[in-house]
Amino acid sequence: MRVRTLSLICAVAVGFTTAGAGQELPSHSVEGQPLAANVVRLMTALELLGSALPEQTRAELQQAADSRDAARLQRLLDPHVLLAVMINPESRVKVVRGPAKGVLQQAGYTPVVVKVINESTVTKPLRIVSPQAGPPYSGVAELSMQRQQQMELHDSRAGGSGLGRFLHVEMFSDPPMTGNLSGLEVEYAIALIYGSEASKREATRPRIPRPDAGGAGSIERTGGNRPRVAALDQPA
């Protein structure tokens, strides 16, 4: 029996464009109490990261959380979602642009809100990847990196030129957030995107991983062979 990795790969295409925000997200049926707890943790984490939601939005979300109103929680928070991750019952993953306007801060991490619609109720970690994520150079010898004690900057698996790399992307899993999905039908997470260059940029994820080829989820094609989701506007 083939062993699957314990992660769902969220492959994102990120465009630094002046285009408007993405589609409005539908509300999904979900238990109010666990979603309320998730949203409260999300608000706390965003505040700790220096990207707190607007004061009025926080107050309204807290009221909705106190009343365990799942539909209202989604209506209030969805306008702030940059990426929506949809996991179908077969653990296939599709990523769409959310309605939030995205602005990347150069030389700094930008926290973005991710809505996860989990029809499979899996409880595995969610990873976000991009071929434009990684060191913006290549060809450095491993021994040289060892001498400089900078092995974290060396990726022996990366091939080809690193000229197109300008991002670092990861899911934020420190408390009060969690490393794994909860299995709830709807929950919210935070992704951190770091940009190393100014001006407009676009990142794409051309490879479509299969569930039996190293990923617990695969990416649904959204047109042609390359899923493309405009995610971030030009840097601040």
Residue 206 has pLDDT above 80, yes or no: no
Report the pLDDT averaged over residues 15-38: 77
The dihedral through the CA atoms of 173, 20, 201, 157 has a sign that is positive
Task: Share the mean pLDDT of the chain.
Answer: 71
Average pLDDT value for residue range 86-100: 88
Look at residues 111, 125, 128, 118 and name the one whose alpha carbon lies nearest to residue 42: 111
Residue 87 has pLDDT above 50, yes or no: yes
What does the alpha-carbon distance between residue 120 and residue 18 come to, in Å, rounded to a whole number?
Answer: 35
Domain locations in the chain? 8-22+83-233
SS (H, E, C) the chain: CCCCCCCEEEECCEEEECCCCCCCCCCCCCCHHHHHHHHHHHHHHHHHCCCCCCHHHHHHHHHHHHCCCHHHHHHHHHHHEEEEEEECCCCCEEEEECCCCCECCECCEEEEEEEEEECCCCCCEEEEECCCECCCCCCCCHHHHHHCCCHHHCCCCCCCCCCCCCEEEEECCCCCCCCECCCCCEEEEEEEEEECCCCCCEECCCCCCCCCCCCCCCECCCECECCCCCCEECCC
* Residue-level pLDDT at 124: 86
Could you tell me the pLDDT band of residue 233, with boundaries at 50, 70 and 90?
very low
Looking at residue 53, what is its pLDDT? Answer: 97
Report the percentage of the chain scoring pLDDT > 90: 35
On the question of pLDDT at 102 being above 90, the answer is no
Tell me if 78 sits within 8 A of 24, measured CB to CB. yes
